[in-house]
C-alpha cells in the first residue's frame, strides 16, 4: 500500500514588543513541487509514499504577522489540503512561536483548521522549534510531536526526520501513538538555555534515554518563547508514545528536572553591558573577538536596525572592525545611487522602528551587492576603521559566507560585531573570545523587566517564590 501524506506548515517566531509587522514579502513560500525540490524537505523519499506537497511559509523571526497575511496563507493551505484528500497522514513543519494580530494561539488555529479538513482518522505529526509555545488546543489535534533538542539549532533536519519517521511508523504498523504534555511555569531566553552549556546540556542529553522506555516514541523539553507576552507562553515537556502511564511519568520527570534547574541557567559567553564588553575587546590581543549585539538579533525577533554598537565604536575610534549587519534600506539605496568608491553622507539606523537610535556619518561605499532581487541588495561601507554591511531587508549575518561574499574574512578581523545571542555554529568556533553585550532592543535580555500584562502568573523569573508540581495533560485524541 502506498500511503498518501500531505506536507506543509508555517514557521516563524514573533516578538510582541516589535512594532514591525511581518507581511507576505517577509516569507519564503514553497508551494507544490517547489516544496519537495527544496533541500529543507529533501529527506522525504517519494519512492516510499505518495507525497502531496501543499504550502510551507517560513520567515526570519520578527514582529507579529499581519492578520491579513496569516489568513491568506491559511486559506491557501487549507484549499490545497482539501484538494489533496483523501489522506493517510499529514506532516506539519512548524516553529511554534508565531504571533498573529488579534490571535493568542496562531499555531493552535492553524493545526485545528487542518484537523477539521482531514478528519479524526488521519494522523497528524508536527515538528517544532524548542522555543515554540505549546497549548492544549495544539496537543488535542496531534498524534505525533517532535521538537529540536539543540540550541543553537543544529538538529533541525534530524527533528523533522524524527517527526516524519514516527508518522511512517504509525502508518505501517497501524499503531497510532498519543501525545501528553506537562506545562512548566518557567520562561527563560535562549541565551541562558543553550544546550552547549549546563544545565541545559545535561537535561537535553538525557532525552534520548527517555525514548528507550516502554511505549515511549519521542521526548521533548520545550523552553518556550519569552519575548511574546501571551497567555500560552511557558516551558513544557511533551511526550509521544503508546504507553499512557509511562508517557505521563516521563513528562512529569522532564518537567520536574527543568523546574529544579530553573535558577542554574546562566549566559554561556562573557556577558555584560556594552561599554564593559568593548573595554574587553579593546584590550584583547587575540582575534577575532566576536561581539554579539543581543537585543537586536533578527533570529530571535529583533528588528535589526539599531546602531547602539556602531555609535559606541565610532565614539571610541575603533579600528579593524566589521559590523554585520544593519538593516537600512534607505541607506542601501543611497549607496547604490552614489556608486562604489564614492563618499556619501548616510543616516544609518531607525529605518524600521522609530524607537531605534540612528547615527549620521560620512562613509565610503566600498562594495555594492545587487543580489537576485532589489530587496536582497546590500552595501558595504567604511566609516574610518569600521566596515559596516548594510542590508535592504531584515536578515542575520551568522554564516562565514555572509562575509566572504563581500571579500571579508571574518577570521582575520580584530573585532566582528553580529546581531546575535549565542553565536551560530559557524561563528562560535572562530570566536577568540566570544562576548555578548546586553544591548537594548525588542528582545533585550532584561527578562524580569519585560512587559508582562498577559502571561499567566506565577511564572519564573517574573515571580520567584511559589510552589510547583508537574501536572500532565493528555491529548483529547488519546482516549484508550
With respect to residue 62, please indicate whether it lies within any of the assigned structural domains: yes
- pLDDT, one tens digit per residue, over 316-362 is 999 999 999 999 999 999 999 999 999 999 999 999 999 999 999 99
**pLDDT for residue 424 is more than 90:** yes
Say whether both 230 and 339 belong to one domain.
Answer: no
- In DSSP terms, 379 is beta-bridged to 368, 390
Give the containing element (helix H, strand E) for 416.
strand 415-418
Rounded Cα gap, residues 226 and 132, in angstroms: 10
- The cell for 473 is 495533560
With respect to residue 463, please indicate whether it lies within any of the assigned structural domains: no
With respect to residue 356, please indicate whether it lies within any of the assigned structural domains: yes
Say whether both 36 and 116 belong to one domain.
Answer: yes
**pLDDT for residue 480 is more than 70:** no
Say whether both 133 and 281 belong to one domain.
Answer: no
Please give the residue that has the higher pLDDT: either 479 or 445: 445
Say whether both 415 and 361 belong to one domain.
Answer: yes
**pLDDT for residue 438 is more than 70:** yes
With respect to residue 374, please indicate whether it lies within any of the assigned structural domains: yes
Q: State the pLDDT at residue 72.
A: 98
CB 256 within 8 A of CB 470: yes
State pTM to two decimals: 0.96
Say whether both 250 and 386 belong to one domain.
Answer: no
Please give the full DSSP string across 250-300, using - where no structure is assigned.
HHHHHHHHHHHTTT----SSEEE-HHHHHHHHHH--SS-EEEEEGGG-GGG
Say whether both 292 and 431 belong to one domain.
Answer: yes
Helix/strand/coil for 33: helix
- In DSSP terms, 127 is beta-bridged to 93, 146
Domain around 100: 3-265+469-474
Say whether both 296 and 403 belong to one domain.
Answer: yes
- pLDDT, one tens digit per residue, over 196-205 is 999 999 999 9
Number of structural domains found in the chain: 2
Rounded Cα gap, residues 105 and 294, in angstroms: 26
Say whether both 275 and 202 belong to one domain.
Answer: no
Q: State the pLDDT at residue 57.
A: 98
With respect to residue 451, please indicate whether it lies within any of the assigned structural domains: no
Say whether both 238 and 281 belong to one domain.
Answer: no
Say whether both 275 and 257 belong to one domain.
Answer: no
Say whether both 34 and 66 belong to one domain.
Answer: yes
As a whole number, the mean pLDDT across the chain is: 97
Say whether both 383 and 240 belong to one domain.
Answer: no
Q: What is the pLDDT confidence band of residue 479, given thresholds at 50, 70 and 90?
A: confident
With respect to residue 480, please indicate whether it lies within any of the assigned structural domains: no
With respect to residue 202, please indicate whether it lies within any of the assigned structural domains: yes
With respect to residue 193, please indicate whether it lies within any of the assigned structural domains: yes
CB 218 within 8 A of CB 146: yes
> Cα dihedral sign for 97, 103, 105, 106?
negative
- pLDDT, one tens digit per residue, over 332-342 is 999 999 999 99
Amino acid at each position: 500500500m502506498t500511503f498518501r501524506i500531505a506536507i506543509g506548515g508555517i514557521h516563524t517566531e514573533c516578538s510582541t514588543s516589535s512594532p514591525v509587522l511581518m507581511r507576505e514579502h517577509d516569507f519564503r513560500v514553497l508551494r507544490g513541487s517547489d516544496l519537495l525540490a527544496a533541500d529543507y524537505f529533501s529527506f522525504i523519499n517519494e519512492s516510499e509514499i505518495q507525497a502531496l506537497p501543499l504550502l510551507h511559509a517560513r520567515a526570519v523571526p520578527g514582529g507579529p504577522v499581519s492578520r491579513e497575511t496569516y489568513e491568506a496563507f491559511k486559506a491557501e493551505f487549507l484549499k490545497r489540503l482539501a484538494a489533496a484528500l483523501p489522506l493517510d497522514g499529514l506532516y506539519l513543519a512548524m516553529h511554534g512561536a508565531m504571533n498573529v494580530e488579534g490571535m493568542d494561539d496562531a499555531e493552535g488555529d492553524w493545526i485545528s483548521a487542518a484537523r477539521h479538513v482531514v478528519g479524526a482518522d488521519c494522523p497528524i505529526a508536527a515538528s517544532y522549534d524548542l522555543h515554540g509555545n505549546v497549548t492544549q488546543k495544539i496537543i488535542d489535534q496531534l498524534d505525533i510531536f517532535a521538537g529540536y533538542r539543540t540550541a543553537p539549532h543544529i538538529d533541525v533536519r534530524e527533528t523533522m526526520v524524527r517527526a516524519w519517521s514516527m508518522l511512517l511508523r504509525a502508518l505501517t504498523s497501524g499503531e497510532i501513538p498519543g501525545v501528553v504534555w506537562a506545562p512548566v511555569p518557567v520562561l527563560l531566553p535562549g541565551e541562558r538555555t543553550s544546550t552547549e552549556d549546563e544545565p541545559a546540556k545535561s537535561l537535553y542529553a538525557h532525552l534520548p534515554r527517555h525514548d528507550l522506555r516502554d511505549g515511549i516514541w519521542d521526548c521533548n523539553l520545550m523552553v518556550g518563547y519569552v519575548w511574546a507576552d501571551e497567555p500560552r507562553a511557558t516551558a513544557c515537556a511533551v511526550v509521544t508514545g503508546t504507553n499512557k502511564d509511562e508517557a505521563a511519568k516521563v513528562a512529569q520527570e522532564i518537567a520536574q528536572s527543568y523546574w529544579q534547574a530553573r535558577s542554574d541557567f546562566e549566559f554561556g559567553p562573557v556577558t555584560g553591558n556594552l561599554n564593559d564588553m568593548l573595554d574587553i575587546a579593546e584590550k584583547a590581543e587575540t582575534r577575532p573577538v566576536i561581539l554579539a549585539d543581543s537585543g537586536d538579533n533578527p533570529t530571535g525577533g529583533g528588528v535589526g536596525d539599531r546602531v547602539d554598537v556602531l555609535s559606541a565604536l565610532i565614539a571610541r575610534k575603533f579600528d579593524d572592525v566589521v559590523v554585520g549587519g544593519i538593516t537600512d534600506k534607505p541607506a542601501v539605496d543611497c549607496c547604490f545611487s552614489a556608486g562604489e568608491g564614492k563618499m556619501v553622507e548616510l543616516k544609518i539606523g531607525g529605518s524600521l522602528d522609530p524607537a531605534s537610535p540612528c547615527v549620521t556619518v560620512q562613509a565610503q561605499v566600498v562594495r555594492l551587492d545587487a543580489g537576485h532581487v532589489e530587496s536582497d541588495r546590500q552595501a558595504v561601507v567604511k566609516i574610518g576603521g569600521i566596515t559596516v554591511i548594510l542590508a535592504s531587508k531584515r536578515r542575520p549575518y551568522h554564516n562565514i559566507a555572509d562575509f566572504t561574499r563581500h571579500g571579508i574574512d571574518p577570521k582575520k578581523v580584530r573585532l566582528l560585531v553580529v546581531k546575535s545571542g549565542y553565536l551560530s555554529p559557524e561563528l562560535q568556533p572562530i570566536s577568540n573570545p566570544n562576548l555578548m553585550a546586553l544591548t537594548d532592543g525588542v528582545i533585550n535580555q532584561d527578562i524580569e523587566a519585560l512587559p508582562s500584562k498577559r502571561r499567566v502568573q506565577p511564572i519564573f523569573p517574573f515571580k520567584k517564590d511559589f510552589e510547583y508540581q508537574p501536572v500532565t495533560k493528555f491529548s483529547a485524541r488519546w482516549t484508550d
